[in-house]
Amino acid sequence: MTILCVRFQLPPAGEAALPGLLGLLEDFTPVVQALPPDGALADLRGAERYFGRDAVELASVIRVRALAHHGVDCVIGAGPGPMLARVALRDARPGVTCAVPEGPDAVAEFLADKPVAALPGVGAAIARVLCEYGLDTLGLVAAAPLSTLQRLIGAKAGRELREKAGGIDRGRVVPNAVSRSLAAERPFTRDELDPDRHRRALLSAAEELGSRLRALDKVCRTLTLTARYADRSSTTRSRTLKEPTAHSPALTRAAYDMYEALGLQRARVRALALRAEGLDPAEQASYQLTFDPLDEKARRIEEVADRARAKFGPHAVMPGSLAA
């Protein structure tokens, strides 16, 4: 095992602690990839030789240090590659690291009974299509003819899915910086069932992100939604925007679309978080002219609202639905 997938059990609105926790992982290896809002991948190949311990033993040390220095517990999955480590994370629990067994046959057996949705990159739409044809576990997907998978979900996606279901992990840990993103989280005072309150929270978070991006003269290329539930599980979805933007209505529309795609229905939601990723300078971004007077009016109003917030505070101007 050389790769760890770590998910820190951060308190609501505690994402600000993530950079410090990434620094903790960097004490062991420089190859750390942030997985906002609360996770990371760490490649420990050099650390295993340097410390004379395997990845599972190092995971125990990381867990103790996170508790001692940050007061944060974590769950950890270990595997020979990033994809397998992320699958192992689903079976991990605080205090116990879940490790993928070694050897191709053991890896295939480990994956066989897992639902197809356990595989990173398999969204609800693909899982639904596969389940309609009886391919509801990774073992069945790995045993299915390649031509069948390609006919169901496409040539490239079918080939990659079959490889991953068979335990072939071609991914690698790509060091990145969590600072190249902005986040806004909205925790609820109680586990919230009301979709209208969910949407108001998303509207508030999108407005905050848009205001912060414009204040920094930045635009974002990707928006990520994370929903945290009452059982401490979470769902994360990302969407690449049609064009890099800091326009609050565009961010809100993307957030609403991702929320609707989750199909939460009566889910008990504890917090919702939005993250703007892929930040670039605003002057370098292209902007598609729409010749829509309503869009131009909305952008002019946005400029005036930003000036009012800069002078009178962040709550000086807000959407009417948030005023109450």
The pLDDT of 204-214, averaged and rounded, is 89
pLDDT tens-digit readout, 29-77: 999 998 877 889 999 988 888 889 988 999 999 999 999 998 999 999 9
**pTM for this entry:** 0.62
pLDDT tens-digit readout, 181-190: 788 889 998 9
- Report the range of poorest mean pLDDT among 4-8, 234-238, 249-253, 316-320: 316-320
pLDDT tens-digit readout, 189-206: 899 998 999 999 999 999
pLDDT tens-digit readout, 97-121: 999 988 888 898 899 898 988 888 7
Confidence class of residue 23 from pLDDT cuts 50, 70 and 90? confident
The pLDDT of 152-171, averaged and rounded, is 89
149 against 286, higher pLDDT = 149
Q: What is the pLDDT of residue 15?
A: 64
pLDDT tens-digit readout, 258-281: 999 888 877 889 999 998 988 888
Are 184 and 205 spatial neighbours (Cβ–Cβ below 8 Å)? yes
Confidence class of residue 217 from pLDDT cuts 50, 70 and 90? confident
Confidence class of residue 25 from pLDDT cuts 50, 70 and 90? very high
Which amino acid type is present at position 44? L
Cis ω for the linkage preceding 37 (within 30 of 0): yes
Determine the Cα–Cα distance for residues 274 and 226; give it in Å rounded to an integer. Answer: 6
Average pLDDT, the chain: 86
